Amino acid sequence: MEQKNLLLAIILSAIIMVGFQWYSASQRPDQSQQNTANNKTAPISSMPSLPGTPETIPGLPSKSTGSSIPVPGGISELKPVEVLKNIKAKSPRINIRSDRVRGSISLVGAKIDDLVLNNYKETIEADSKNITLLLPFGSSNPYFADFGWVSANTEVPDTKTKWNTSNDVLSPETPVTLWWQNSDGVKFIQEISLDPNFMFTVKQRVENTGSKTATVFPFGRIQRNGTPEITDFYILHEGMLGIFDGVLTEIDYDDIQETKKIENKSKGGWIGITDKYWLTALIPDQVSTVDTRFKSDRSQNRTDIYQVDFRGEAQIISAGTSSQTSSRFFAGAKEAQLIVDYRDELNITRFDLAIDWGWFEFLTKPIFFALVYFTEYLGNMGLSILLLTVLIKLAFFPLANKSYRAMGKMKILQPEMMKIRDRFKDDKARMNQEVMQLYKREKANPAAGCLPILPQIPVFFALYKVVFVTIELRHAPFYGWIHDLSAADPLTPFNFFGLIDWSPPEIIAIGIWPIIMGVTMYAQQKLNPPPPDPMQAKIFMFLPIMFTFMLARFPAGLVIYWAWNNLLSVLQQYVIMRQAGAQIGNPKKS
């Protein structure tokens, strides 16, 4: 009966996963309906026209029109590093220097289009390259941000405009100022500063020294060329996202390819593009109402182009006056504490949702921050997972004790149940009646076996989410051969645990920790009374093998948690069953 409860718990966990997925999808508005609804509040005619090319500025009908930026000739014959170097050499640039990022800003178009993360590598190898987040137009996959203005009655700077600058280095200590003036005497100024981490602040100021009134709309834009390689797993969103009036909106790449454009009007919030660990986000003035847009297009060479942008309210600048707005641009790693600090210190509405905490956010966040706290003292995230497992076991200790005592009683009653089964094997109804009378007489509860399992299902899912999506677990080592808790166990008996330089197919690439987990699961199963049905007994004997294969490609941190949790459960159950006088192992028929 306890084994039936275990199977029931497994089935329930699958139902919960699928059910939450269905519920989450059902709560997300249909994109075509959302697009129609948003068009009613933000008519296309009032929104900036943003073709999906970096050569055309976003805006209302304007005097300035975009034109192509030439791609350096012969780049197909060059190495990627040389290609990027040639591209950046085509335009004057401001260097970006800080402890956490490096790169440059193109003075042609004032684009932040070259950014490398100093503290993050592509792999765990010592000679691995740093993560490159932003790339200039002309590279294989351009990814950049820019800020500017659109106007119907005065000339504004465009992507061909060469800006003047105050200095050639942007750092946390030295902001930069860009300026350009049109023929009507309207001067456009961008003051760009960078904090010690990943946040740029862009102050856009317009000074009208001419004689005509100028009406301008400030905008910010992120554009990404090419669909990135994504994890494509339903527990993680990668693509476009934003907070509009306090509500999170997530748009997958394939969804925006179908709908082409989704518009919103919002006060506060932010809009951006997220990867598993990295984020670019535009953060308008949180007290102003802005028009925002998700957009997808195709280039002439059939490359998908994705764009998120916002446009602020009209600024009417009469002769002799000026106007200023301030926005922010985040480009970097989704470090949880840093994201939360930005939310609180800069009053960015729900910026913490840049990290996909999942359905069990009320569990995921406490578990994550507990692991980070433990790691400050233990110095190892893997040890923190082991400590957290112990604390979770202590939290469920009263419930588990009750369950294991019930299992011990069921183990003691197993010989009597087998006798009843043999006596009434031809009368199922009578057999069930006698078994129920035995339960009642001995005050045994067969349903108690699943009690400690069900509450741990959301805890397991929450920990899985933490290990899978948080950058703090990325490349976090344990001991021995585990150098990345967010990746699968790399050693497998099929390549003699790394002695042979061969990567077996994933279906048989079973690491050491999954094998340990399977052994502990088998040991726990042997402490439970076997089901009376021989077919059920065979099925349950197969479960440890099935779970070993299932968890083989799971993150090592999660497998370590499960194996350690199983071992603690075995020890706890063994002690309780010995105290109850239950036989250890499966009794034989007499």
pLDDT digits (tens, 9 = 90+) for 334-357: 999 999 999 999 999 999 999 999
- pLDDT for 80: 62
Partners of residue 112 on adjacent β-strands: 105, 145
Q: Which residue has the higher pLDDT, 271 or 541?
A: 271
Instruction: Quote the pTM value.
Output: 0.80
Burial of 486 (0-12, 13-18, 19+ CB in 10 A): buried
3-state secondary structure of 413: helix
The predicted pLDDT at position 114 comes to 93
Give the per-residue pLDDT at 237. Answer: 92
**Which tens digit of pLDDT belongs to each residue from 416-459?**
777 777 777 777 777 777 777 777 776 666 655 555 566 777 88
Q: Looking at 9-23, 125-139, 186-200, 306-320, which range is the least confident one?
A: 9-23
Predicted confidence at residue 444, as pLDDT, reads 66
- Do residues 41 and 265 touch, judged by C-beta distance below 8 A? yes
Mean pLDDT along residues 513-525: 88
CA 268 to CA 347: how far, in whole Å? Answer: 9
Burial of 226 (0-12, 13-18, 19+ CB in 10 A): middle
Q: 195: helix, coil or strand?
A: coil
Could you give the CA distance from residue 276 to residue 471 in angstroms, rounded to a whole number?
8
pLDDT at res. 531: 62
Cα–Cα separations (whole angstroms), residue 26 to 17, 19, 235: 14, 10, 15
What pLDDT shows up at residue 312?
Answer: 94
Give the least confident one: 78-87, 202-211, 549-558. Answer: 78-87
Q: What pLDDT does residue 349 have?
A: 93
Closest CA to 69 of 50, 91, 49, 52: 91
Task: Please state, rounded to an integer, the average pLDDT across all residues of the chain.
Answer: 80
**pLDDT at residue 449, as a whole number:** 57
Q: For residue 138, what pLDDT band results from cuts at 50, 70 and 90?
A: confident
User: Looking at residue 499, what is its pLDDT?
Assistant: 65
Kindly state the average pLDDT of the residues 72-97.
67
Confidence of residue 1 (pLDDT cuts 50, 70, 90): very low
Residue 82 and residue 501: Cα distance in Å, rounded? 32
Task: Return the higher-pLDDT residue of 342 and 27.
Answer: 342
**CA dist., res. 121 & res. 126, Å (int):** 9
Please name the residue that has the structure tokens 């990404």.
Answer: 224
Q: Is pLDDT of 89 > 90?
A: no
Dump pLDDT digits (tens) for 142-164: 999 999 999 999 999 998 899 99
| Mean pLDDT, residues 374-379 | 94
pLDDT in tens, 294-305: 999 987 778 899
Residue for token pair 């040890």:
383
- Cβ neighbors of 18 (< 8 A, separation 6 or more) are none
Q: Is residue 552 predicted with pLDDT exceeding 70?
A: yes
Least confident of 54-58, 103-107, 313-317: 54-58
CB 441 within 8 Å of CB 416: no
Give the three-state DSSP class for 111: strand
- The residue ranking higher by pLDDT, 276 or 456, is 276
Q: Which helix (H) or strand (E) holds 83?
A: helix 80-89
- Residue 337 pLDDT: 95
Count H helices and E strands in the chain, helices first: 13, 20
Query: Tokens at residue 144, please?
Result: 């950049």
Domain boundaries of the chain, sorted by first residue: 47-69+94-343, 358-396+455-485
Q: Which one is predicted more confidently, 11 or 321?
A: 321
Spatial neighbors of 512 by CB under 8 A, at least 6 apart, are 481, 489, 491, 492, 497
Burial of 582 (0-12, 13-18, 19+ CB in 10 A): buried
Percent of the chain's residues with pLDDT above 70: 75
Sign of CA dihedral 482, 487, 493, 495: negative
Cα–Cα distance measured from residue 7 to residue 530, given in angstroms and rounded to the nearest whole number: 13
Tens of pLDDT along 179-218? 999 999 999 999 999 999 999 999 999 999 989 999 999 9
Whether 49 shows a pLDDT value over 60: the answer reads: no
| CATH code of the domain occupying 47-69+94-343 | 2.70.98.90
Alpha-carbon span 526 to 520, nearest angstrom: 10
Rounded Cα distance between 97 and 169, Å, is 7
Q: Could you read off the pLDDT of 230-252 as tens digits, one per residue?
A: 877 778 899 999 999 889 999 99
**pLDDT of res. 169:** 95
Most confident of 49-58, 101-110, 432-441: 101-110
The confidence band for 497, taking pLDDT boundaries of 50, 70 and 90, is: low
